[in-house]
Structure 1
Amino acid sequence: MWAERLLQGTLDTLLMVGVSSLIALLLGIPLAVVLVTSGKGGIYQAPTLNRLLGGFVNLFRSVPFLILMVALIPFTRLIVGTTYGVWAAVVPLTIAATPFFARIAEVSLREVDHGLIEAAQAMGCRRWHIIWHVLLPEARPGI
């Protein structure tokens, strides 16, 4: 009996962590790309957008998880329909993990040699191609 509960708890934990990690990956990479490309020296310079997104990321990174989880109870109920259980835990885990992963991905993207970006621009690449074919492949090991 205890072994069944242990196995079920392990599977629930793996499901919560796996789903929230996948969603954080899918949301964090675009967020990191926007932060890098809209920053100073980026290919889509937008200082206001960069400050707003940077502040958003810093805000959610600085809030302790338990406080964030309690603050997200109404949002979790809206999304999942309940405030407890495996799927209810995915919502705050995802919201807490996305900014952390976005910063990690941002650091990896910023480490890409600027000469590669300049070379792609000199060859006439569009900005989207620079992101897709230069920035993301070069930053993949760090991400």
Structure 2
Amino acid sequence: MSLPPLNKYFQAFFETLLMVSASALIAIGLGLLLAIVLTVTAKSSLYPKPRLHRGLSVTVNIFRAVPFIIMLVALLPVTRFLVGTTLGTWAAVVPLTVNLIPFYARIAQVSLNDVDPGLVEAARAMGCRRRHIIRHVLLPEALPGIVSGMTVSVIAMINASAIKFIY
């Protein structure tokens, strides 16, 4: 039994690295944005919008509950529209990204919700605007949880990227 040439392994490694990197950059950016929206629209938060919060929360929960392989198949038309094909490295980026956004959004939301409400209240008392509270209080205080959530999310994405080689 002979092994495939070494360049096939390197090619597969770099394709996986490309898929995970591209998906992670997009998904972590959009997931963090979604987490911020979920955090600040909660009841008794900076921008209380209970209906928006509830709708987004339900949507995130639904997308998190869908297994990756089902999402991959369901997103085939979207992938074909965006990328032009349903096979290959770039075609795998679309379902990987869509799969990771709600996963990471929940992790980041938990980190943002763990920020001491007293810090937010102190910033409000000092006259900080809401956007400044988000940028200068919530995000820096939640940063350790946000970064560790990125690590967990990228590891989960590497696991899901193995599906690419099945289809």
- So what's the TM-score if we normalise by structure 1? 0.98
Q: 1:41, CA displacement in angstroms? A: 1.7
- 2:7 counterpart (4, 7, 12): 4
* Aligned residue number for residue 78 of structure 2: 75
Q: Which runs of 5+ in 2 are unaligned?
A: 147-167
Question: What letter matches 2:99 in structure 1?
Answer: A
* Aligned residue number for residue 153 of structure 2: none
* Aligned residue number for residue 22 of structure 2: 19
Q: Which runs of 5+ in 1 are unaligned?
A: none
In the alignment, the residues of structure 2 paired with residue 52 and residue 78 of structure 1 have an alpha-carbon distance, to the nearest angstrom, of 27
Q: 1:98, CA displacement in angstroms? A: 0.6
- So what's the TM-score if we normalise by structure 2? 0.84
In the alignment, the residues of structure 2 paired with residue 22 and residue 30 of structure 1 have an alpha-carbon distance, to the nearest angstrom, of 12
In the alignment, the residues of structure 2 paired with residue 80 and residue 56 of structure 1 have an alpha-carbon distance, to the nearest angstrom, of 25
In the alignment, the residues of structure 2 paired with residue 49 and residue 40 of structure 1 have an alpha-carbon distance, to the nearest angstrom, of 11
Aligned length: 143
1:62 matched to 2:65:
yes
In the alignment, the residues of structure 2 paired with residue 135 and residue 61 of structure 1 have an alpha-carbon distance, to the nearest angstrom, of 24
In the alignment, the residues of structure 1 paired with residue 62 and residue 43 of structure 2 have an alpha-carbon distance, to the nearest angstrom, of 21
Secondary structure of residue in 2 paired with 1:17? helix
* Aligned residue number for residue 117 of structure 1: 120
Q: CA RMSD in A?
A: 0.7
* Aligned residue number for residue 50 of structure 2: 47
* Aligned residue number for residue 140 of structure 1: 143
Q: 1:121, CA displacement in angstroms? A: 0.3
Question: What letter matches 2:144 in structure 1?
Answer: P
Question: What letter matches 1:140 in structure 2?
Answer: L
Q: Which whole-Å deviations, capped at 9, do the CAs of 1:54-79 have from their partners, x for residues lacking one?
A: 01100110001000000000000111
Q: 1:2, CA displacement in angstroms? A: 1.7
Question: What letter matches 1:99 in structure 2?
Answer: P
